[in-house]
Structure 1
């Protein structure tokens, strides 16, 4: 019988973040009523990963949407998603962008975070994430993953939730899958070398894997729920309480940026090329997320339900408090 490797990192992370939260009230730079610069703009920072999901934020700066709301936005690149939440909780940054389940988990651990805008959503078939395998692996659908080693970028998070659901829906038993952690960028070569038998990846690594002759057996974001919102822009309860006007202005600008991004995919590809090192030929062909200001309550409820079922959450999340 296969077992999922479950290190004690989540508990350690929770304790660390709670400590950061306790100290965050002493930081006046990213909380409290904001001051303006010499141009009359309010300096604001957001922490996010330099991936295509962040394109609307860059377009919002590029198109002047944030400036029109009186905001001078600086986008700080995080080394990984795990670094974003602590930077917001501590007050280092006013805003962050991260996957929706990570935000639910943070609140479950006692951290005061709220989504104030959508960030990106499932696109369709094909989607911007896929479960990949070699063409001769014998794995043709999610149920065939039983007895195999499958990589996800983080255990006990959104990737594991959607893949477990895909396996169950296909008639398989996810407890018989050996889930291991592996960064998205490493997936194509790990499949090629036989290190793993299947792996979950997002763009641009899905396109890179397909270029190597690998195959996608599932588009798990879209198949989990066609309106799944994958990530959101969030802030701390402290910023919401002390500067609601700034939060409202940031939300308006972000919503405009999301609409612009969805209506202008060529601009998404152009701006993504300015802050990533994605090969131009891949950038032109890869599947983009869907960008929309609206968040699906139904999809969020289903994500919370499955996360509870799989032990990723201990309590049912208060979606009224979490979602915009």
Structure 2
């Protein structure tokens, strides 16, 4: 609706960005470097964690594009599968077959890894939303990791999920799997600086024709309300542009952002969509009045000491007490 009004060629704040609209903040750049190093250096088993909407899926898609891996790549976005479904999907993605015989598949897969190693190729298995992996699948992943260790450099496995994944892996029964993890990285939210750059980048990628569409205070409130979470930033910015369009406003200010924040608030938002309340005028006035009083009292005490008035006052009080 607002595309033509603001001069966009496409929606600037889509939740799933195209690769040419992919912004990497400092934490994402660091995470991408760590993951690329893990694959290139044959670390085998890697772990990527981050909160909801921090860009984990975006990062692994960027990784796959950077490594230019098209064959032998399997990304499982919904790991809530049984063992047979898991092996069937995995086999299909790497050009193998699974006929419900797991032992047979593992033997064939071991031979497949051997050939990959000789050809200097890799199999890359990425499991997104790994925090909801069934326990039995975690055991199967351990078996695959063991096979990969027999043919170094042929298999990389990524577990990608929310921080709850760390709690699951901390259980004693997952110690063998945990010991296989060679590298781990946790995605942090965007900083305020990155939030500003992120918004400008997405606007420019969408063909924004005019200058800054969001005021500095508006960006600051977006960052505070979203806690630096890219997904929430997208939602707020999209809502704000729609609101601005409906009111014929070319520049989004903090009043529009605060209104959008209030409208987006829902139970269970994990602290998102909230801003510090503005201090009332009388509260600010009272603060400054008290500060002035304290300063005057401090100056009075200093003057009393400076000119010897304190000694005179103390002597006067002492004389009164003696007379009493």
TM-score computed with the length of structure 1 as normaliser = 0.29
- The structure number with the bigger radius of gyration is 2
Larger RCO (alpha carbons 8 Å, 6+ apart)? 1
Structure holding more strand per residue: 1
TM-score computed with the length of structure 2 as normaliser = 0.29
Structure holding more helix per residue: 2
